[in-house]
Amino acid sequence: MTPLTLYNSLTRSAEPFVPADPANVRIYSCGPTVYHYAHLGNLRAYLFTDTLGRTLTWKGYGLTHVINITDVGHLTSDADSGDDKMEAAAKASGRDIWAVAAHYTQAFKANLKDLNVRDPAHFPLATDHVPGMIAFGEAIAERHCYRLPDGLYFDTSTVPDYGRLAGTHADGPAEARIDAVAGKRHAADFAIWRTSGPDEHRQMEWDSPWGRGAPGWHLECSVMSRRYLGDHFDIHTGGIDHREIHHPNEIAQNQAYGGTADTGATLWMHNNFLVDRTGKMSKSSGAFLTLATLVERGFHPLAYRLMCLQAHYRSELEFSWENLAAAQTRLKRLVQTVAALRARGDSKGAATAAPYAERLDAALSDDLNTPKALPVLDEMLADKRIAPADRLAALADFDAVLGLGLLTLAREDLRVRPARAGIDDAGIAARLEERRAARAAKDFPRSDAIRDELAALGVEVMDGDPLGWDWKVTI
């Protein structure tokens, strides 16, 4: 096997992966803020961590993965200004904040299932860990924090090398972190605790030594990662936006709590953005695509997984319906190949799939190079020297790391079929049967009439389609 190399945002370089305990690699991934549905960009972040986890398992490592659920504390700006996203969403919809959190948490988990993202060992909720956050705050308050009327703030000048991860320093802040909290000693200082104002009523509030209020967002990840993975674990992940504010702040907290320069994790890994023509996809902009939108338009969730695998996780990926349709066609071809191999099934061949497994391993071991791994799968499946039964066995092995569900997907699952199409599958099958009968009887006007009728309902009849489809929905 090729040794695994992963890109560390801390050093801005690819490094050999050396876990503290190969039998138990510990990974913490910053989870979603559950004030809305996850958009396709957010889901890219968890497809990345899933590929990381699956690669580790495939290479024989044991794994403990944690994805937290942010149900309190994340403000409309990452840099501690604006309203709490959860409070604002609950207020806008007139719903109870706990119901809002439960609804979107459940929807997020359903999205992960649909994308074949494996369940992490733990999905901790921030609101279940507030006492731990208060204890953490108390431990660092005296040496690292100061009080302002609206809360307890972390003084970023009290830890070594603040901003190293972001590539900025406390006195040279990125634009995003300049915010309006009066009295902060440094622009990059951030809230550990946000004390409610005298007339302020938050739906989520707790008593603390700094008054009734709510925890700052960054605190939860330092507390939950420690609670589930210990004070130093192997890999911390998040989207590339977290490299600028959230993760530098977590690191500062970890250093303050531990009393050392240790950041808390050996590797800090970040996925790049999913963008569309208008820019980065974001929940706060309101206009964003969810997995449900994609299914509504007739696409299979795993076509999106394949679309993400076609790009390296550190590259920006542009979303377009054309890209998604191309990925779905590629998936369809793979599924069709599996069906053909199953139909043959013979087990005598002149070669084994082992060289392909080695190439797959080499690609994934090179900082999870999935775009390089996918053609290895195609080539292996097409290699006629390998017996069909052996190709199927190798496919099962490859799919354990790719997670495309190639052994369970059926061709029919991948038919592009928008929820709003005017006729169902059984109706189409019946009309096509009539058309076949008309053609057999050489009644071509009748056959053409049926084709036109289906076209009016948004269904295109596909005579002689190379992929063997009878029809497709026009979108």
Q: How far is the CB of 198 from ligand AMP (least distance, A)?
A: 30
Nearest-CA neighbor of 406 among 474, 305, 275?
A: 305
Q: How far is the CB of 406 from ligand AMP (least distance, A)?
A: 25
Does an H or E element contain 317, and which?
strand 317-318
Of 30 and 461, nearer to Zn ion (C-beta) is 30
The 8-class DSSP code of residue 445 comes to: H
Backbone phi, psi, residue 473, to 5°:
-90, 135
Q: How far is the CB of 132 from ligand AMP (least distance, A)?
A: 20
The 8-class DSSP code of residue 33 comes to: B
Give the x/- contact pattern for ligand AMP in 57-96, rule: CB under 6 A.
Answer: -------------x--------------------------
Cα 295 to the center of its chain, rounded Å: 17
Rounded to a whole number of angstroms, the distance between the first and last alpha carbons of the chain is 45
Number of residues that bind ligand AMP (CB under 6 A): 19
Instruction: Determine the interface stretch with ligand AMP among 115-123, 175-183, 266-274, 403-411 (rule: CB under 6 A).
Output: 266-274
Work out what residue 45 binds among ligand AMP, Zn ion, none; the CB cut-off runs from 5 to 8 Å by kind: ligand AMP
In angstroms, rounded to a whole number, what is the distance separating the alpha carbons of residues 209 and 211? 6
Of 126 and 229, nearer to ligand AMP (C-beta) is 126
DSSP code string of 137-166:
HHHHHHHHEEEETTEEEE-GGGSTTTTTTT
In angstroms, rounded to a whole number, what is the distance separating the alpha carbons of residues 155 and 144? 6
**367 sits near ligand AMP (criterion: CB under 6 A):** no
Amino acid at 154: F
Work out what residue 42 binds among ligand AMP, Zn ion, none; the CB cut-off runs from 5 to 8 Å by kind: ligand AMP
- The 3-class secondary structure across 415-439, one letter per residue, is CCCCCCCCCCHHHHHHHHHHHHHHH
CB pairs under 8 A, 24+ apart, for 175-183? 176/77, 176/78, 176/79, 176/244, 176/245, 177/79, 177/244, 177/245, 178/79, 179/77, 179/79, 179/80, 179/81, 180/81, 181/80, 181/81, 181/148, 181/150, 181/153, 182/148, 183/148, 183/149
Contact with ligand AMP (CB under 6 A): which of 8, 33, 337, 365?
Answer: 33
Work out what residue 281 binds among Zn ion, ligand AMP, none; the CB cut-off runs from 5 to 8 Å by kind: ligand AMP
Which residue number has the CB closest to ligand AMP?
Answer: 239
Q: Pick out residues in 428-447 that bind ligand AMP (CB under 6 A).
A: none
Of 189 and 244, nearer to ligand AMP (C-beta) is 244
**32 sits near ligand AMP (criterion: CB under 6 A):** yes
Q: How far is the CB of 136 from Zn ion (least distance, A)?
A: 14
Work out what residue 241 binds among ligand AMP, Zn ion, none; the CB cut-off runs from 5 to 8 Å by kind: ligand AMP
In angstroms, rounded to a whole number, what is the distance separating the alpha carbons of residues 332 and 310? 15
Give the x/- contact pattern for ligand AMP in 276-305, rule: CB under 6 A.
Answer: ----xxxx----------------------
Q: Pick out residues in 221-250 that bind ligand AMP (CB under 6 A).
A: 238-239, 241-242
Cα 424 to the center of its chain, rounded Å: 32
Work out what residue 221 binds among ligand AMP, Zn ion, none; the CB cut-off runs from 5 to 8 Å by kind: Zn ion
Give the x/- contact pattern for ligand AMP in 327-366, rule: CB under 6 A.
Answer: ----------------------------------------
DSSP code string of 388-408:
HHHHHHHHHHHHHHH---TTT
| Structure tokens belonging to residue 43 | 């889901």
Q: How far is the CB of 359 from ligand AMP (least distance, A)?
A: 28
Work out what residue 41 binds among Zn ion, ligand AMP, none; the CB cut-off runs from 5 to 8 Å by kind: ligand AMP
Contact with ligand AMP (CB under 6 A): which of 8, 42, 64, 111?
Answer: 42
Residues that bind Zn ion (CB under 5 A): 30, 221
Contact with ligand AMP (CB under 6 A): which of 37, 136, 273, 299?
Answer: 273
Q: How far is the CB of 399 from ligand AMP (least distance, A)?
A: 24
Instruction: Determine the interface stretch with ligand AMP among 27-35, 55-63, 220-228, 445-453 (rule: CB under 6 A).
Output: 27-35
Q: Are 314 and 13 in contact (CB under 8 A)?
A: no
In angstroms, rounded to a whole number, what is the distance separating the alpha carbons of residues 194 and 196? 6
Of 311 and 357, nearer to ligand AMP (C-beta) is 311
In angstroms, rounded to a whole number, what is the distance separating the alpha carbons of residues 281 and 287? 8
In angstroms, rounded to a whole number, what is the distance separating the alpha carbons of residues 134 and 242? 23
Q: How far is the CB of 34 from ligand AMP (least distance, A)?
A: 8
In angstroms, rounded to a whole number, what is the distance separating the alpha carbons of residues 282 and 273? 10
Largest CA distance in the chain: 91
Of 317 and 377, nearer to ligand AMP (C-beta) is 317
Q: How far is the CB of 83 from Zn ion (least distance, A)?
A: 19
Binding site for ligand AMP (CB under 6 A): 30, 32-33, 41-42, 44-45, 70, 238-239, 241-242, 271, 273-274, 280-283
